[in-house]
Amino acid sequence: MDAAKEEFLKEFGRDYGYSGAPKTIDEIRATEFKRLEGVAYLDHAAATLYSELQMEAILKDLTANIYGNPHSQSDSSFATSDIVRNARQQVLDYFKASPKDYKCIFTSGATAALKLVGEAFPWSHQSSFVYTMENHNSVIGIREYALEQGAQAYAIDIEDTERDAFTGNIASVQVTKHQLLRRNEAKSLAKDHTGSAYNLFAFPSECNFSGLKFSLELVKTVKEDSIRYSDGSPSSNGHWKVLIDAAKGCATEPPDLSKYPADFVVISFYKLFGYPTGLGALIVHTDAAKLLKKTYFSGGTVAASIADIDFVKQREGIEELFEDGTIPFLSIASLCHGFKILNSLTIPAISRHTSSLATYLRNVLAALRHENGTRVCTLYGSCSSKTLCNKMGPIVSFNLRRPDGSWVGHREVEKLASLYSIQLRTGCFCNPGACAKYLDLSHLDLVTNIEAGHICWDDNDIINGKPSGAVRVSLGYMSTYEDVKQKFIDFVTSSFVSTPTHSRDLQFCGRSIPFTETGFESRYSAFGVDLKSITVYPIKSCAGFSTDRWPLSSRGLLYDREWLLQSLTGETLTQKKVPEMCLIHTYIDLSQGILFINSPRCKEGLQIILNSNYSNGKREEISLRGQIYQVQGYDKEVDTWFSAAIGRSCTLLRHLSSSHCVNLDERDSVGTCRESRTCLNFSNEAQFLLISEESVSDLNNRLNSTDVGKDVRRTSVQVNPMRFRPNLVISGGRPYAEDEWINIKIGNKFFRSLGGCNRCQMINFATDAEQVLKTNEPLATLASYRRVKQGKILFGILLRYECEAEEGNSNNSWLQVGESIIPDSKQL
């Protein structure tokens, strides 16, 4: 055991590891989560993991018993009804809810449970829907039902509490009210009386953004109408009902409904024990259930109905009334096996275990400093007894800063983490209020971000110098010290903390990516550099072919990426989502005018005549990267061939024409694209990608080098230039000299450098015996020394053909292997 773990156990050993349970944490990981070997799964707030023991028990149960539709009267149906009845009781027991006072309604998840409440709640013009800023979108969405029925809605922030001096109980809670929302005011009905109106207050037991836990004392405070507004505005009259979103919090601290009698509690079971997905529950107080107005009826919810007249008699049981159709009884049958796992460990022990890891992680991240003394990490969420938020759950939410104080994009962190087999989540986590609150984003900031094109799950992580989201690490009952320290903390330290020995490799700033190597001249000499190979990729993301000589066009190499594959839903297919595309081999015979295509999945090859109306004549427009292309499809035989080759239905499209001329920002330094106006086929950024053999050789040396800090060899992986899908490979010169090039001349052809090529996970795909394998290399190694400030990992350069500057006749220009390369750092 290393010294760091000994120190951790010295501080947290009493809470970490389930010492009194049937299995310790190390035994649990070794026997029930073998699939996590080498992986740090840190996204339990999104979905925790099922144990292998749990799934074995479920399989044994389902294969040994017969469970029929519970709406029948057979023995198998009765068996199912017993299972469902027991499952409901287990859920109520989990929340210490009396079956006399509460009912368990199964839904497809917490979101469906929230939607049910919103649809059926007795809204009126006098009603209010009030919710804390820290709420999931699925909770905030309830306001649409409230507003549509004429009710008012607004968010609040809890500011302070006042307690009774003698009892210690809360006397009142002071809150700040955000903008009051109301629509359809004309819907006010004469029968709406203020005293008879029903209001709904919603809050999470644990914020899924920050991990902040809300005190369940809020339930009684709201019901007793003890909310006080800082602006002096009066509280809403009527009867208050309270909803707790326990989807996140119930995994470590389920609300105790015997002490805090909320009216509605929503959960999703995959958040508790990983399986089943698509199943949740609404735990509803019987008094609150009587207020809900159900309109739709279905099979299972009615006692009788007549098809041709307006007659229906609904069932009286609360569960039966709200569970439309046949419930997912096989999923419900699996719940007992999940609860068995939790009960064997006990919820208090799970809470202590996960809390110890989260506290340790927060402490370490808070203490990290760059070499200049600046903080590395900004943490979100803090405890305060005054605001009824006095505990932290097993979530650590944060953003990272560079030594100069600028932010590291959360998507950059996520992408790099995946290279180290670390699974986490970034963004706003569907919690816009908490995101805006903790990131200090004003309404103007949010609107500006949206107008700039920012949406959920995109790569716009830094906008106008501010982060648009955060990094979230969330822990589960099977998380370990090794996940947190040896995987995640070490990853953050090695990748983002500037130290005297690592600051150069981190590449936080600079005009270009520096490289020094004994034996090379300090200033680049172009002598001996020539064109080693030419590769054409006729179909986007499919394999290309190499040639000694090839013609140029205004769009780059003739026929390069002139075709693409599109799914039946209109999605452009690439290796990122369909790695098998790399197994499709192409070759063009110019003398015959034929594109030859082969795949190991197809017995016969395919031939496309280049200059013939081989297609079915159907022309259409498609949008790709915001540009409109005129394309032409092919007949069913061609589409069937490609569908078989990649294992999914698709169509082949050929580019006919477009106005696609890429406008790239002007810049003063190498490493990002220069200003250009480049006509493209279906390539992503530029007409050409150039790779240097010497740069690849240096990368291979690094792949095989010894990690000095850990005294271990990095990897035995070796890559060749074709792994990067280049059009042009050059030989000679020093590694990474191409980073400094502005213009180059190949033979008598002129090209302009558009800067470095940002690499993605596609370069980690390798083929072996006609199988596509995905590894972490070479991108992980490139990330360690080729990452620039914007988070891009650059390798190779992008080029544009300057046909107007060509010497001699430019109408019949060809590139040829062996031609000399002459770079120029001056503008043409």
Q: Which residues are catalytic?
A: 430
In this structure, how many other beta carbons lie within 10 angstroms of the beta carbon of residue 665?
A: 10
For 563-578, b where at least 16 C-beta lie within 10 A, e where not — what string?
bbbbbeeeebbbbeeb
Distance between CA atoms of residues 422 and 414, nearest Å:
8
> Could you tell me which residues are beta bridge partners of residue 609?
594
What are the angstrom distances between the C-alpha of 139 and each of 1, 150, 156?
A: 45, 18, 14
DSSP 3-state of 161? strand
DSSP 674: P
Whole-number Cα distances in Å, 338 to 54, 274, 275: 6, 8, 7
How many residues make up the chain in this entry? 828
> Which of helix, strand or coil describes residue 231?
coil
Give CA–CA dist 560/24, Å, rounded: 58
Distance from C-alpha of 409 to C-alpha of 192, rounded to nearest angstrom: 51
**CA torsion through residues 755, 758, 764, 766, sign:** negative
Radius of gyration of the chain (CA): 31
CA distance 38 to 61: 31
Phi-psi group of 67: left, alpha or beta (phi > 0 → left; psi -120 to 50 → alpha; rest → beta) = beta
Q: For residue 217, give the amino acid letter.
A: E
Cα-based angle 706, 712, 717 (whole degrees, multiple of 5): 65
CA 193 to each of CA 125, 127, 151, 200, 227: distance values in angstroms, whole numbers, following the listed order:
9, 10, 13, 16, 21
Q: Which amino acid is at 761?
A: Q
Helices (H), 121-268: 137-140, 142-148, 218-223
The span from the CA of 783 to the CA of 798, in Å, is 19
DSSP code of residue 484: I
722: Cα within 13 Å, side-chain hemisphere:
14
Helix (H) or strand (E) holding 451: helix 443-451
- With b for 16 or more beta-carbon neighbours within 10 A and e for fewer, the 184-204 pattern comes to eeeeeeeebeeeebbbbbbbb
Question: Phi-psi region for residue 569, left (φ > 0), alpha (ψ -120 to 50) or beta?
Answer: alpha
CB 735 within 8 A of CB 515: yes
